[in-house]
Amino acid sequence: MSASVAPRAGYAWIKRFGLPAMLGAVLFVLVVLPTAFMFIGALMSAGMADPAAHFTLAKLQTVYTTLPYLRALGYTLAMAGGVAALACFVGIALAWLVARTDVPRKRLLEMCMIAPLFLSPFVGGLAWLILGSPKAGLLNVLARDLFATKGAAINVVSTTGIVCVMALYFVPYAYLTISSSLRNMDPALEEASYLNGAGVFATALRVTLPVLRPSLISAFFFIFVLAAGTFSIPAVLGGASRVPFLAVIVFETTAAYPIDYGKSAAVGTVLFWISVMGVAFYRYASRAANRFVTVTARGFSMRLVKLRGWRWPAVGAIGVYVLLAIVLPYLALIYTALTRYMTSSFSKASYSLDNVRWAADSPEVIESIWNTLLVGVVSPTLCLALAVVLAYAIRRMKIRFGRTLDYLTMFPIAIPGIVLGTGIFWTYVTTPVYGTIWILVLAFVASYLPFAYRIGDTALMQIEKSLEEASALCGASHRGTLWRITVPLIRPALLSGWVMVFIFSVREISAAILLASPSNEVLSTISWNYLDYGDQQKAAVLGLVQTLILISGVLAGQFVFRVRLTQAV
């Protein structure tokens, strides 16, 4: 009797105290401490290590009440709102074309639609700086040469330009959210509209759009939060045009004299509150979306809108997006990488393979490639492992404090990378982790845990509980059931999540830029260093190397692990 009771008592203890305590401790270290340090930092007069530092409300008072920061707040809200609106507008149009019409080559188009996700926004920003600078941008020079235009045809270093470039890289998020809702929507609603004599556009406007409204709102706020916390594109494009953007100020106050860590943290707290509000709206809209979007058990065949003569123009419209988001930026990067100095005249450019040779021979670059691969493999693996344990413990084992743990796990979604980077810097600067590659792994695991957790949790919800119960009835422990039954069943979703976190980790710059050290330089940080030092050629080469790594990861996911990335986000 004692032999059977002891394990039960042990299990009960683990479920009651052990597992919640362990998971709580992990989340405390990953999420709570860096956030706390950010808030403490905002209350300090100087860096926490400075012997003259003392507690003060001055930084918070300056940031929350003075005009320059309120102006930056206004700009950030307006720009993030603009990015989200534009990305959703394009996303819904593209999703409708692919999901609801007979546009040809759908699988290829769908891959094209999400392809910008596999590119670093920082690299995209750099490419658009080369393409769209008002006077010497390649596109402007081309427009002047071909059409004798006067002035700048496009200007990416303006507020509007920055919003448009950012929107390009957020369209996939809108596309994936909306296309998923479109696919799950019962076509009977649209059929009824057609039967009542409404045309294609009237149906789209009066039936499809209202049904999609909640998921559209959820996509809007999701992109809004991500855009508000994005540092790389506004920093690359807006640095010289004085566009005040909070995420850039967080970085600049730690990078330009007089360096002010307190102010940086205080600005970080503003971004934090923006994100918290954005996430609250997002979650509310997501719940509403689940309530409104009609998912029925019965099978249905989707009636596709026949575009007839508009089929190829529709492909052309999608092609324009692909051209702007992928083709042109990469042509610009390749051109830049092959020149000795930047010039907007193709014929007068001084071409050379020196930059490519430099990248191949440079120990710094080779080491950063290894570091990038290391964080690219370790971060998603740890992230997914932790996410599965959390999701299983909270949803299946129903451990104590499950709701708190669930909330803490999703919490980093409200912390922009640059803010989390500040918190992690101060949390770990005195530990052996600082200066090593592992601090980046920690930052990336914390940043992307919500994505991994959401994927794991959704996959778990779709697994019939009876399968696990059968395993338990056969005497398997929770651990055995998780490993032998649950994980194999949710493997496709986990692999998709792994590839997504791999992509995010390889291209991440916001947190990494504050945590870079001699021993942990990754491609994104040394690329930033070269750009900051005015060497666009080397930054472009490094951006291309980073893209090759991302594409290799995506192809491996697609063809080796049979991952459907369109289902992962």
Partner 1 sequence: MTKLTGWNSTLARRSVLGGLAGIGAGLVHVGTGQAQTGAPSAGITEGLIKAAKAEGALTYYHTSDLGLTAKWTAAFTKKFGIPVKNIRGPSYPLYDRWMNEERVGKHIADIVQISDPTLFPVAQKEGFIATYIPAGTTAIPDSLKVEGVWYAMNIDFMGIVYNTQETTADEVKQLTSGGWNAMTDPRWHGRYATTTPAAGGSTYTYWYMFMEEYKAQYGEAFVRKLAEHKPTIYSSKVLAFDRLVAGEFAISDMATESTMTELYTKGAPVRFFFPDPCPASPLVQIVSAHAPKPNGARLFQEWTLSEDGQLEWLKYTSVLPSRNDVTDPRKAARKDWFGEPWYADPTSLYLKYLKDPAFADPAKPLIPIWNKIFGYRSE
Nearest to 224 by CA among 74, 81, 418: 81
Nearest to 171 by CA among 229, 220, 100: 220
Which lies closer to partner 1 via its Cβ, residue 202 or residue 353?
353
Which lies closer to partner 1 via its Cβ, residue 62 or residue 404?
62
Distance separating alpha carbons of residues 232 and 554, to the nearest angstrom: 22
Distance separating alpha carbons of residues 485 and 392, to the nearest angstrom: 12
CB of 157 to partner 1, least distance (A): 8
CB of 94 to partner 1, least distance (A): 33
Give the CB-side neighbour count of residue 130, counting CA atoms within 13 A: 29
Peptide bond before residue 258 is cis, with ω within 30 degrees of 0 = yes
CB of 343 to partner 1, least distance (A): 6
CB of 336 to partner 1, least distance (A): 10
Amino acid at 342: M
SS3 assignment, position 101: strand
Which lies closer to partner 1 via its Cβ, residue 50 or residue 102?
50
Which lies closer to partner 1 via its Cβ, residue 184 or residue 343?
343
Nearest to 158 by CA among 78, 239, 76: 239
Which lies closer to partner 1 via its Cβ, residue 53 or residue 397?
53
CB of 73 to partner 1, least distance (A): 14
CB of 532 to partner 1, least distance (A): 6
CB of 340 to partner 1, least distance (A): 5
Residues forming contacts to partner 1 in the complex (CB under 8 A) are 47, 49-51, 62, 66, 68, 133-136, 141, 239-242, 244, 252, 254-259, 340-345, 350, 358, 362, 364, 429-430, 434-435, 517-518, 529-536, 538
CB neighbour list of residue 350: distance below 8 Å, 6 or more residues apart: 339, 340, 341, 343
CB neighbour list of residue 287: distance below 8 Å, 6 or more residues apart: none
CB of 169 to partner 1, least distance (A): 22
CB of 163 to partner 1, least distance (A): 19
**Spatial contact of 501 and 387, defined as CB atoms under 8 Å apart:** no
CB of 61 to partner 1, least distance (A): 13
Amino acid at 82: G
**Cα separations (Å) of 162 from 155, 232, 328?**
9, 11, 16
**Spatial contact of 536 and 339, defined as CB atoms under 8 Å apart:** no
Which lies closer to partner 1 via its Cβ, residue 197 or residue 258?
258
Which lies closer to partner 1 via its Cβ, residue 135 or residue 465?
135
Nearest to 68 by CA among 329, 242, 326: 242
Nearest to 304 by CA among 316, 296, 294, 314: 314
Which lies closer to partner 1 via its Cβ, residue 108 or residue 240?
240
Token digits of residue 550: 């991302």
Which lies closer to partner 1 via its Cβ, residue 13 or residue 346?
346
**Cα separations (Å) of 265 from 235, 262, 282?**
18, 5, 25
Alpha helix stretches (DSSP H) within 43-115: 58-65, 67-100, 106-114
**Cα separations (Å) of 402 from 384, 414, 448, 555?**
18, 20, 20, 37
CB of 350 to partner 1, least distance (A): 5
Nearest to 223 by CA among 178, 184, 188: 178
Which lies closer to partner 1 via its Cβ, residue 329 or residue 450?
329
Which lies closer to partner 1 via its Cβ, residue 1 or residue 256?
256
SS3 assignment, position 339: strand
Token digits of residue 129: 């700086």
Which lies closer to partner 1 via its Cβ, residue 240 or residue 304?
240
CB neighbour list of residue 454: distance below 8 Å, 6 or more residues apart: 410
CB of 353 to partner 1, least distance (A): 14
CB of 564 to partner 1, least distance (A): 41
SS3 assignment, position 351: strand
Which lies closer to partner 1 via its Cβ, residue 247 or residue 494?
247
Token digits of residue 238: 């807006």
